[in-house]
Amino acid sequence: MHSWSIAGSLALVSPDRGDGRSFLCAHLGRMFAELEDETLIIDADLRHPRQHEIFGLPNSYGLADALKSGFIDPPVQFVAERPGLHVLTAGTPAEHPHALLSRRSFSRLLERFAGRYRVILLDTPSMAEGATDALTVSIRASAALLVVRRDRARMQALRDLAERLQTATVELLGAVMNQVPD
């Protein structure tokens, strides 16, 4: 994973809600920051954002607001207890998340951040709830990591998801089997 970080941004995708994608994204962010890599977590799950809750940050203005307004330098929040870790929350709920994530301004935002951060992690909605959102974010990222929940993942759903990502020319780095507590 650390050698991947030179390449750019990583989208975390999963088949279902509750697979632990947001949790893993937050932990990977902490890990990279501990390795002294300037790290940015972008909560691109505009349907059910979680990163602001995980880090105890306000969510009054974030990615959705920046994309709606065309603001190319949205306020990234510093995580006080973890030097080098920054979060761009999802912001105000969006009526049509996919329309926002499909905008060219999202790609420009990622390009701009790539010059500032060594590691960019993108939390996406589950494929079950926002397949087009997750695919769009994954296509715009440098690569994707598939997150599945132990004892809940269905092999056919995983194969279908991996195939959809690869058909969309997304570089799939691998999969993480996560054990999320009930």
Inform me whether the pLDDT recorded for 103 exceeds 60.
yes
Residue pLDDT, tens place only, 10-27: 999 988 888 889 999 999
At 57 the pLDDT is: 96
3-state secondary structure the chain: CCCHHHCCEEEEECCCCCCCHHHHHHHHHHHHHHCCCCEEEEECCCCCCCHHHHHCCCCCCCHHHHHHHCCCCCCCEECCCCCCEEEECCCCCCCCHHHHHCCHHHHHHHHHHHCCCCEEEEECCCHHHHHHHHHHHHHHCCEEEEEEECCCCCHHHHHHHHHHHHHCCCCEEEEEEECCCC
Q: What is the CATH number of the domain that holds 38?
A: 3.40.50.300
State the average pLDDT for the chain.
87
What percent of the chain stands above pLDDT 90? 57
At 180 the pLDDT is: 57
At 152 the pLDDT is: 65
Domain that holds residue 158: 4-178
The whole-model pTM stands at 0.91
Number of structural domains in the chain: 1
